[in-house]
């Protein structure tokens, strides 16, 4: 596991550091260490893996830690057993994970790191293939340069020059029409992604849950509600709950509610 994280075999992301830190603390204090719901947690149904191009498979990379915590939280609040739930959970942060969560498992989600779903604060999301080819080959970009562009320099940052959503809201309030258009386009794409998962659940969604840092924005939530109010109940868990999720996950292990899985 540590080797996979060091080599960035599955993803190059800050969360790779977690297991390395846990391993160091485990040896320092002579205690067991666990990871909980990593971003590469893979519970996809078979049809969700097929991309449309032989040799290219859709990957499960998401904000799994916060998504799964919100699923358990919602099931408890609504008063239904999580095994009987079909949630659509949209984690809206610097990257977006919009997931179909059935029975507590993420059975489908856009690739939150690179290449799928709506554009976000910094990420490009799904793109026209011809445009991708032109961008890479016309400027002779290296793979590293292309990944940097699509994962760190696109989205709101690419269009508006900032990754600070509060600043963008202020610009919109001051009459910046371009900023308003780009945010409207992002909201439109988020709504389309959620609507697609609602159709995949045959319209039988237990609840729509909006979470992540951008869920703190009343402006953004109001914009989304205009598209998505037909999905009920409609829950907003603003912010991220990673620390609570880690704590709850390990307590479940220590109390025998969950079993430890071995990394192979």
The pLDDT tens digits for 75-134 are 999 999 999 999 999 999 988 999 999 999 999 999 988 878 999 999 999 999 999 999
Phi-psi region of 83 (alpha: psi -120 to 50; beta: other; left: phi over 0): alpha
CA distance 242 to 165: 21
- Nearest by Cα to 150 from 96, 108, 114: 114
Q: Is the pLDDT of residue 74 over 80?
A: yes
**CATH class name, domain 41-254:** alpha beta
Give the CA distances from residue 264 to residues 33, 250, 261, in Å, rounded to whole numbers and listed in that order: 16, 20, 9
> pLDDT over 90 for what percent of the chain?
86
Q: What is the mean pLDDT of the chain?
A: 94
Q: Is the pLDDT of residue 11 over 80?
A: no
Give the model's pLDDT for residue 242: 92
Tokens of 219: 């402006």
Contacts of 50 (CB under 8 A, 6+ apart): 57, 58
Give the model's pLDDT for residue 75: 97
Give the model's pLDDT for residue 262: 87
260 HSE (CA, 13 A, CB side): 11
Is the distance from CB of 215 to CB of 237 less than 8 angstroms?
yes
Cis peptide bond N-terminal to 127, omega within 30: no
Q: Tokens 């995949």 appear where?
A: 200
Mean pLDDT of 19-40: 93
Mean pLDDT of 8-14: 81
Give the model's pLDDT for residue 40: 87
Is the distance from CB of 43 to CB of 107 less than 8 angstroms?
yes
Q: What end-to-end distance do the CA atoms of the chain give, in Å? A: 8
Q: Is the pLDDT of residue 21 over 90?
A: yes
User: For residue 175, how far is the Cα from the chain centroid?
Assistant: 31
Beta-sheet pairing, 86-92 with 207-212:
parallel
CA distance 89 to 66: 10
Q: Is the pLDDT of residue 252 over 80?
A: yes
Write the DSSP symbol of residue 153: S
Contacts of 176 (CB under 8 A, 6+ apart): none
Give the model's pLDDT for residue 258: 87
Give the model's pLDDT for residue 117: 95
Give the model's pLDDT for residue 158: 97
Mean pLDDT of 212-238: 96
Give the model's pLDDT for residue 10: 80
Question: What tens digit of pLDDT does each residue of 152-199 get?
Answer: 999 999 999 999 999 999 999 999 999 999 999 999 999 999 999 999
């Amino acid at each position: 596991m540590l080797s996979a994280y060091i080599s960035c075999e599955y993803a190059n992301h800050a969360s790779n550091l977690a297991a390395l830190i846990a391993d160091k603390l485990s040896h320092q204090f002579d205690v067991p260490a666990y990871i909980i719901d990593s971003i590469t947690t893979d519970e996809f149904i078979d049809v969700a893996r097929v991309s449309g191009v032989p040799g290219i498979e859709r990957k499960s990379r998401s904000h799994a830690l916060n998504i799964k915590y919100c699923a358990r939280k919602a099931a408890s609040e609504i008063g239904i057993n999580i095994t009987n739930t079909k949630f659509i959970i949209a984690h809206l942060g610097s990257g977006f994970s919009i997931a179909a969560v059935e029975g507590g498992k993420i059975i489908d989600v856009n690739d939150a790191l690179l290449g799928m779903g709506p554009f976000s604060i910094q990420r490009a999301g799904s793109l026209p293939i011809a445009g991708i080819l032109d961008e890479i080959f016309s400027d002779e970009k290296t793979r590293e340069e292309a990944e940097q562009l699509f994962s760190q320099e696109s989205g709101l940052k690419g269009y508006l020059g900032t990754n600070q959503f509060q600043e963008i809201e202020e610009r919109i309030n001051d009459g910046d029409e371009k900023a308003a258009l780009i945010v409207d386009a992002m909201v439109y794409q988020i709504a389309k992604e959620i609507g697609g998962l609602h159709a995949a659940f045959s319209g039988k969604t237990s609840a729509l849950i909006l979470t992540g840092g951008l869920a703190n924005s009343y402006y953004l939530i109001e914009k989304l509600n205009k598209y998505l109010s037909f999905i009920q109940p409609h829950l907003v868990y603003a912010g991220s709950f990673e620390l609570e999720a880690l704590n709850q996950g390990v307590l479940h292990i220590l109390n025998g509610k969950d079993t430890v899985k071995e990394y192979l």
